[in-house]
Structure 1
């Protein structure tokens, strides 16, 4: 994709709330709209970002890679992730289905949710959208990804 992704003011507000840890319901409440309207805004953003059918974390990853969103600022440093946790983070950001995440990480499909919850707790992220946005801010994801302190196998693949 070569064109800049242009979001409306309302779409920016929705994605800003979600990437800063709000849920769809709390975003709807803060904007005085229905949760269905939040989902509609996400659908429109997926179309603009050319990732129709993608999960919300994949949408956030795409928007972050194109510098379309404001990343959350946190006062705590990037967590020290194991190689397996880094692979899970990358899979969450790039795969829309549990099956795809499971294949990329070699985690059993039934355990993807449990492992994702562990990663959320370790990173203090409130949602997977928040996790992906934080990871971009920490440079654990994206084109400016830092491999300092990462296992050797991750440094070679970066």
Structure 2
């Protein structure tokens, strides 16, 4: 007998989550789904808990958790042939797993004052609308899968 999936979003939460991953704002999601912004916020908060995001997690972390747990499909990449350097991939991973600037900087190995500038450059390169969309695009390009497979034995993932 299969173990039930502990990360199960409702249909409404999944609809909202898909739009988060595609880079929509709460107002945009509200307009698209014809729901109030407070309903959208509620679905995001409940969805975040279901997929195991800590309180105060960024939308990028939420997108990463959703995609890692296969709750929604990744957005289509805006173009083929996007190549990220190892430094850019470290920043992508840091954005997907941390919310605070200092933690992102430490995980990415960059100065905290450069996080915003380098993140903006990455979003521009990937033509992402925001960091959640950027993480979604990275998932569609299988950046996180590749990083997990390339980690040396015994390395933290």
TM-score by length of 1: 0.83
Structure 2 gap ranges (5+):
none
Partner SS, residue 7 of structure 2: coil
Alignment deviations for residues 76-133 of structure 1 (CA, whole Å, 9 cap, x no partner) = 2251112211110010011121111011123222321221111100011111111111
Aligned partner of 1:21 among 5, 11, 23:
23
Q: Distance in 1 between matches of 2:105 and 2:99?
A: 11
Partner SS, residue 22 of structure 1: coil
Aligned partner of 1:79 among 75, 78, 82:
82
* Residue matched to 1:36: 38
RMSD: 2.3
* Residue matched to 1:145: 146
Structure 1 gap ranges (5+):
148-153
Is 1:57–2:42 an aligned residue pair?
A: no
* Residue matched to 2:109: 106
* Residue matched to 1:151: none
Question: Retained in 1: the 8 A contact 2:61–2:98?
Answer: yes
Residue 155 of structure 1 deviates from its aligned partner by 6.4
With over 3 angstroms needed to count, the CA separation of the structure-2 counterparts of 1:78 and 1:100, relative to structure 1, is farther
Question: Retained in 1: the 8 A contact 2:52–2:65?
Answer: no
Q: Distance in 1 between matches of 2:109 and 2:77?
A: 30
Q: May I ask how many residue pairs the two structures share in their alignment?
A: 150
Partner SS, residue 133 of structure 1: helix
Residue 75 of structure 1 deviates from its aligned partner by 5.6
Aligned partner of 1:118 among 80, 103, 121:
121
